[in-house]
A and B are shown apart, each in its own frame.
Chain A
Amino acid sequence: GQQLNQSPQSMFIQEGEDVSMNCTSSSIFNTWLWYKQDPGEGPVLLIALYKAGELTSNGRLTAQFGITRKDSFLNISASIPSDVGIYFCAGDNYGGATNKLIFGTGTLLAVQP
């Protein structure tokens, strides 16, 4: 089945640094999504991307839908302690018509104050 490879697996950074993580797939997706999961909680949607090449921002977060439709990246600028958590990419082949998603393996972000 389809798989999403996320990198890096984990990041340990200082407060104020910028962060970049990415997600690649062996096959095409029509939608890319980025979620954050705090310990003991469910994933919370950060950014949704629906068009190849699309670049979307949400506050300090910026994500891009790769032109080949096989990858996406997420950048976090000027990180703060509350950015700590696990970030997941997810792909959807139904153009957002359903919420049947394929999730990546996650990037654990730790921010040192």
Chain B
Amino acid sequence: NAGVMQNPRHLVRRRGQEARLRCSPMKGHSHVYWYRQLPEEGLKFMVYLQKENIIDESGMPKERFSAEFPKEGPSILRIQQVVRGDSAAYFCASSPGIGTLNTEAFFGQGTRLTVV
């Protein structure tokens, strides 16, 4: 049973370009969470999605960031017109659904975005 798969592992973008980060949850998991980790900091919650629905986007910047989790395919975190301050590690976690314990949620290995 494959774990949470994130790709790419490393992504380099020039300022002004778009970054697309993908997350395939564990088999049987229908809920996805995205977190951002700046260098030498803890993870910060960004958005919580289930298939075709955004449940909580209270941690998402108001502009340039969007997330989706379509009926088919991976969850996508999209950052438009990237700036240097977007450079960070972006982690995805998945869980079976509401009411399940934290012990049933797992993190991917992350995508490290570098904006040059």
A-to-B contact residues, CB < 8 Å: 4, 6, 31, 33, 40-45, 48, 88, 90, 92, 96-106
Residue contact A99 to B93, C-beta cutoff 8 Å: yes
Pick the contact of A100: B40, B41, B56 (CB < 8 A).
B56
B-to-A contact residues, CB < 8 Å: 4, 31, 33, 35, 40-45, 48, 55-56, 91, 93, 95, 98-103, 105-110
**A100 contact set on B, CB distance < 8 A:** 33, 45, 48, 56
Given the known interface contacts A92-B102, A98-B98, A99-B93, the answer about A42 and B109 at a Cβ–Cβ threshold of 8 Å is: yes
Residue contact A45 to B102, C-beta cutoff 8 Å: yes
User: Can you report 30 residue pairs joining A to B where beta carbons are below 8 Å apart?
Assistant: A41-B109, A41-B110, A42-B4, A42-B110, A43-B43, A45-B102, A48-B103, A88-B43, A90-B43, A96-B100, A96-B101, A96-B102, A97-B99, A98-B48, A98-B95, A99-B33, A99-B48, A99-B93, A99-B102, A99-B105, A100-B33, A100-B45, A100-B56, A101-B45, A101-B102, A102-B45, A103-B42, A104-B42, A105-B42, A106-B42
Residue contact A88 to B91, C-beta cutoff 8 Å: no
Pick the contact of B109: A33, A40, A103, A105 (CB < 8 A).
A40
* Assembled-state Cα–Cα distance A103/B101 (Å): 17
* Assembled-state Cα–Cα distance A6/B42 (Å): 10
Residue contact B107 to A42, C-beta cutoff 8 Å: yes
Pick the contact of A42: B42, B44, B45, B91 (CB < 8 A).
B91
Residue contact A97 to B98, C-beta cutoff 8 Å: yes
**A92 contact set on B, CB distance < 8 A:** 102
Separation in Å of the A4 CB from the closest CB of chain B? 8
Given the known interface contacts A98-B98, A99-B95, A100-B33, the answer about A45 and B43 at a Cβ–Cβ threshold of 8 Å is: no
Among B33, B43, B48: residue with most chain A CB under 10 A: B43
Residue contact B102 to A43, C-beta cutoff 8 Å: no
Separation in Å of the B37 CB from the closest CB of chain A? 8
* Assembled-state Cα–Cα distance A107/B41 (Å): 10
Chain B residue nearest in CB terms to A33: B102
Residue contact B43 to A103, C-beta cutoff 8 Å: yes
**B98 contact set on A, CB distance < 8 A:** 97-98
